[in-house]
Amino acid sequence: MTTSLHPAQSTRVNQELDLRIGGTFERGGGETFPVHNPATEEIIAEVAAATPAQIERATAIARAGLDRDEMGDAKERSAALDRLADVFEAHADEILAISVNEIGTPVSTAKGLHVDTPISVLRWMAQGALTDRTEHLGVFDGPPASESIVIHRPAGVIAGIAAYNYPLLFAAIKVGAAYAAGCPSVLLSSPNAPLGILNFGRYVQEAGWPESSVSVLAGGVDVAQHLISRPEVAKVSFTGSVPAGKAVMTTAAQGLRDVVLELGGKSAAIVLPTAHVEAVVEPIHSRYLRNAGQGCASPTRILLHRSQYDAFVDASREYFDSVAVGDPWDTRTLVGPVISERHRQSVLAHIGNALSDGGTVLARGHEPQATGWWVPPTLIGGLANDARCNQEEIFGPVASVQVYDTVDEAIAIANDSTFGLHATVWGPHDEAMEIAPRLDVGQVSINGGGPKRPDAPNGGWKNSGIGREFGEAGIREFLEPVHIQWPVT
């Protein structure tokens, strides 16, 4: 299918609507579902879900390819990952357009989030595929004396299930790490955003990957459950909500399958008493407002020293007045729509709960009076940390402000959460570095941190998930260690 990007754009998108099963493309045989542009509410495509038979063929092809050693050696896999990154670069405009149109990410941030970061992940995985992970344990005195090495073998067929907010990044993380480890994948899109993932199947084909290395499916919960339960699947890599993650884990447990779960977050942003308050307002708010707040690491619990509260709120009101909300193709826009009307209602319900619990709206941004699933940027105050607004992941352009009197109290508030994915600390570097190891999270960003590193592990504590993605840790999730031992004299 070929579609226009936007009335103001002349380029066109070659949109794949078929599933990739092994090396062939075919229409899904299951229920057809619409894909909407969340900024216009228009149906931009219709996609057919995979049937149980199609799922079973995909997993069987992957397992057979692994048994026939079709994944290639380390050098071949590295070259294939680099070729896939080349294909991403060649289709950068197309990927950008799909991301803006099916997710609603503003074009002002979409290139970095949906194009550049996946490419950097694929490039890093290409190098990671070349790493010799053999461990030489040396001689063990015994008696009797022996020597050992530990080698690492591919874990098997990987079922990758992507969330809607960064689909091609999740494809690069899951498929890229699995293939670097020598594992084939069956990748399933979110029904909210299948178009980028379906095109991923075409990109893999264009990059000349082995036919059995990747299959790409579309569908909902029933497709995911059938995929996870297939006996050929050795491990499941899932990104999504906590309830969905628990369901994935329950299904996987029936076959004693391992899981990698990247789930939700309720990240704290600690503003130290010595921080320059006005200087941190824009970077804190813009971090969770991008992608309309639909990011697991969004710093949506803002912790301020009591003396900073008034200045921060005043500056936040000015900032919210200046934030552009609207057409994601407008380069001035920071906040686009949320993914669906259902999700919009969910976010608005969270705001309503906060107000009914005694909170107040401290700042509110613009809401376009036009078609689209819009939620105005909203800053809430007046609630204790145990309030629903401060404990539940909202996944929208909504944050809260709390005050503390001591830094120890701020750390305690930050850690008082069922999540543990990410935290940010703002203030003098040395002070922030002392605090970072005391936070119960998988990543701490100091004064904004930096761009997403493909070589650094990503994952969380508590309800934020199990296992790690990105970097060496991400590849090792798809490897099984094998101890080899022999006697010596």
- Catalytic site positions: 262, 296
Beta bridge partners of 236: 159, 259
Q: Residue 363 pairs with which residues in a beta bridge? A: 379
Token digits of residue 18:
């078929």
DSSP, residue by residue, 326-356: S-TTSTT--B---S-HHHHHHHHHHHHHHHH
End-to-end alpha-carbon separation of the chain, Å?
Answer: 68
Rounded to whole angstroms, how far apart are CA atoms 108 and 100? 10
Rounded to an integer, what distance in angstroms lies between the CA atom of residue 324 and that of residue 3? Answer: 27
How is residue 281 written in tokens? 């307002």
Rg (CA), the chain: 23
Strands 12-14 and 2-4: antiparallel
**Dihedral Cα 125, 131, 133, 135, nearest 10 deg:** -150
C-alpha separations of 26 from 223, 227, 269, 376 in Å: 16, 18, 47, 41
- Say if residues 337 and 100 touch (Cβ distance below 8 Å): no
Q: Which amino acid is at 485?
A: Q
Go through 11-34 and write b for each residue having 16 or more CB atoms within 10 A of its CB, e for each that does not: eebebbbbbbbbbebeebebeebe
Structural contact between residues 193 and 85, judged by C-beta atoms closer than 8 angstroms: no
Q: Kind and range of the H or E element at 482? A: strand 479-487
Q: What are phi and psi of 262, to 5 degrees?
A: -110, 105
